[in-house]
Amino acid sequence: FREDLLGAIDDGLLVLGEIVRQALYSHIERRYQVKREEIPDRLDVLHDTLEVVFGSGTQVIERLIAKTLCGRLGLDFIEHENWTLMKYVEDLRKRLRPE
């Protein structure tokens, strides 16, 4: 799951361009001391960074990442208004491990 999530983040941010993606990763590492590989464990840091840089556009980017992750996991994407990437990931984890 973690590798699929990192891949989905990479793919989702690549829509912004390689230079922007690398700039975001550099900013996260400098400001929060979180390396690219650690971002799946620190989605709050990614969210905060996207909020500062893109404001309301964050929701579109996070939705794209969630949709990409669903594709990687073979699950249908279910869009929810006002969900953050953290909420989508929490929901996907539950869907993968039904009780």
Pull the structure tokens for residue 1.
């799951």
Q: How far apart are CA 92 and CA 88, in angstroms?
A: 6
**What are the φ/ψ torsions at residue 97 (nearest 5 degrees)?**
-125, 70
Domains of the chain: 2-96 (1.10.1200)
pLDDT for 97 equals: 87
**Along the 99 residues of the chain, how does pLDDT read in single tens digits?**
999 999 999 999 999 999 999 999 999 999 999 999 999 999 999 999 999 999 999 999 999 999 999 999 999 999 999 999 999 999 999 998 866
pLDDT at position 70 = 97
Rounded to a whole number of angstroms, the distance between the first and last alpha carbons of the chain is: 18
Q: Quote the pLDDT of residue 28.
A: 98
- Quick one: pLDDT at residue 91? 94
Say how far apart CA 1 and CA 38 lie, in whole Å. 13
Checking 22-29 for CB contacts under 8 A at 24+ apart, the result is 24/49, 24/50, 24/53
What is the predicted pLDDT for the residue at 99? 63
| Spatial separation of the C-alpha atoms in residues 37 and 23, rounded to whole Å | 15
